[in-house]
Amino acid sequence: MLASRRVARLRARRQEASQARASTASRAAAYIRVSTEEQATTGHGLDAQERAVRAFAESQGYELIAVVSDPGVSGATAPASRPGFSRLTELASSGAYSVLLVWKFDRLARQIVYAVTAVQELAEQHGVVIRSVTEPIDTATPMGRTIFAVLAGMAEQERQAITERTWSGRREKAERGGFAGGMAPLGYERDRDGGLMPSAEADTVRSIFAMRAEGAKLQSIADRLNADGIPTKRGGTWRPSQVSYILDNPKYRGAVEYLFRMGGADVHVLRDGTHTPIIR
């Protein structure tokens, strides 16, 4: 089976993001955090951190695009579960900055495994390096990388084991034809085992394919769905691109397709699925 256009679009977006990061080498974002206890004992901890990172950014010639804070958040909380840090990840995924400034490395997390994991994910997935304003940690320099490597070595084994188990499990499930995660597409819902089963929205999917088979254009199909008051998967109005995404999704014909990334390499899985096809 040939790869669908969805995979080609994923690869194109990754290449575009890489090119965008190259053009934002002088842009930085800053992350500041203070726990409830620290707020009580130090008063304006966030203000002091912000002044420090702004002064550092100016001294280094960085364009500081955002200072994001997580006030009253414990350092024992994983960064990915914090609203402020999640926003930083979203900005990084759009290529908005390439350097993350922190007042101290422990602002990321008190637990070393959380801090190291956050830094490595930003680097591996978005090409972002970290600089500590008050410590010799700069993952863009040899000395900073050496210091960080010592810290990373303490957490790498645990992180690698977790990552490999998760990645291998999803890949094995996909290679067996199972649904390997993500939101169930329009027309399907999750069954008791985490797989896919047709839902009441399956008729909408069949209508889309039927209209296309009769020669209708993408815009015409979108207009018809909107006129009939049929919402999208997220409850919005239809656009041609959304119709195209439905038509290009191999799950509706009984196949599963995933593009996994591990160690910087892409693994494309496309095979017959174990779920019931909506379109035959």
d(CA 161, CA 158): 5
Note every long-range contact of 148-154, with CB atoms under 8 Å and residues 24 or more positions apart, other chains counting.
148/116, 148/119, 151/105, 151/112, 151/115, 151/116, 152/116, 152/119, 152/120, 154/112, 154/113, 154/116
Which of the following is catalytic: 35, 69, 98, 132?
A: 35
Q: What tokens does 50 get? A: 């912000």
Active site residue 74: no
- The residues, any chain, with a CB within 8 Å of residue 64's CB and separated by 6 or more, are 28, 29, 30, 53, 54, 57, 58, 101
- The residues, any chain, with a CB within 8 Å of residue 190's CB and separated by 6 or more, are 179, 184, 196, 197
d(CA 177, CA 167): 16
d(CA 248, CA 242): 10
Q: Which amino acids are annotated catalytic?
A: 35
